[in-house]
Amino acid sequence: MYNWTDRHVRPEHKVQLNRLIYSPIDRRPRLQWPNGARVALWLVPNVEHYEYLPRQGQMRDPWPRTPHPDVLGYSRAEYGNRIGIWRTFEVIDRYRMPCTVSLNLAVYERFPEIMQACEARKWEVLCHGIYNTDYLWGLPENEERAIIADCVATHRRLWAGSRPPARGHSTHPTSWRRPVSDTSATLASTISLFRWRHARAA
């Protein structure tokens, strides 16, 4: 068997070693779903907030089409919170489907009606950052950690005095999904400090 050692890796890539345990699919135990089901469906609506004037100087421009503000791009994003989410609720309610919301926490802060609607349906929250226009690319680890700590504090403030967590639910998010596939070499270890799970974007 080939012995992979640090001498085969460029210094800038060493942080990636041992990040995940290698597991060949033909050697894993058989996955058993309840009641003998062969397929599991995880319904995760993205409920996001795009800033009209996002932070400048990021490695990715949230509105690259025109100089800011990009009214056309912004209005497309706003459609989701003003109209799209409410039509989504109608379909999900019709089929009584449980959901986990991939949530920019600013949505609950700015649009409490959406928070009330999701809470009424007892949706679990998967933290998707504060804004969908604020990225972690290129940030030093201390700033990255501060953003995630802000997410934890924001969630606890929003849920202070609200309904007790349902069985299997926590009083703060247990999963993090980075905005727009945004990532860094240190993100997984930073998330683990908060005892969160890393939910990768599709």
Q: Which CATH number fits the domain that encloses residue 165?
A: 3.20.20.370
Mean pLDDT of 73-83: 94
Would 21 be classed as within a structural domain? no
- pLDDT for 92-112, tens place per residue? 999 999 999 999 999 999 999
pLDDT on residue 136: 85
Number of domains in the chain: 1
Mean pLDDT score across all residues of the chain? 79
- pLDDT for 169-189, tens place per residue? 444 454 444 444 455 555 555
E-strand ranges in 19-159 read 46-47, 100-103, 124-127
Q: Can you tell me the distance from the alpha carbon of 158 to that of 69, in angstroms, rounded to the nearest whole number? A: 29
pTM, to two decimals: 0.73
Would 34 be classed as within a structural domain? no
Confidence grade of residue 39 (pLDDT, cut at 50, 70, 90): very high
pLDDT on residue 49: 95
